[in-house]
Amino acid sequence: MGEETVWMFDLVGTVIPIFIAVVLGILAVSAGGGLWNWVRNSRLPQQTVPARIVGKRSEIRPRFREEGEPARTQMQYYLTFELEDGTRKEFIVGGTDYGAAVEQDRGSLRYRGTRYLGFERERHYRAAQTW
């Protein structure tokens, strides 16, 4: 038992606990940020404002599985709205709302903080044309 043994105990006793503390700190900060965002959104009042849809986008995110299982993906849908004052807000929406949305649709946007609650389109009717 020479210097090599002392070095090994120093690595296990110092470096590994620091590494574990850093990893746990990163996880705690990530979880705390999500929880803070949820609490902040819940405390804000629900808003309903006139808006129009100015953009749609989707994102495919891989979902990693254990070895031997089929690969999976998750679709994330986003709608961008422009409010009357010109500001734009982007929200994560469900597939049904994304599929029904058409750019330039106008209507009432309901949201609370960064949480999308819904969009009700204005109805547009045209008189039947006679030839």
Q: Is pLDDT at 89 greater than 90 in this prediction?
A: yes
- Rounded to a whole number, what is the distance in angstroms from the first to the last CA of the chain? 102
Are 104 and 53 in contact, with CB atoms under 8 Å apart? yes
The model's pLDDT over 65-84, given as tens digits with 9 standing for 90+, comes to 777 677 788 899 999 999 99
Domain 46-65+72-121 grouped into CATH 2.40.50.660: yes
Are 79 and 101 in contact, with CB atoms under 8 Å apart? yes
Tokens of 69: 């299982």
- Sort 51 into a burial class: Cβ within 10 Å, 0-12 / 13-18 / 19+: buried
Please give the average per-residue pLDDT across 22-35, as a whole number.
Answer: 76
The model's pLDDT over 3-17, given as tens digits with 9 standing for 90+, comes to 555 655 566 677 777
pLDDT band at residue 102 using 50, 70 and 90 as cut-offs? very high
Are 51 and 84 in contact, with CB atoms under 8 Å apart? yes
pLDDT value of residue 49: 97
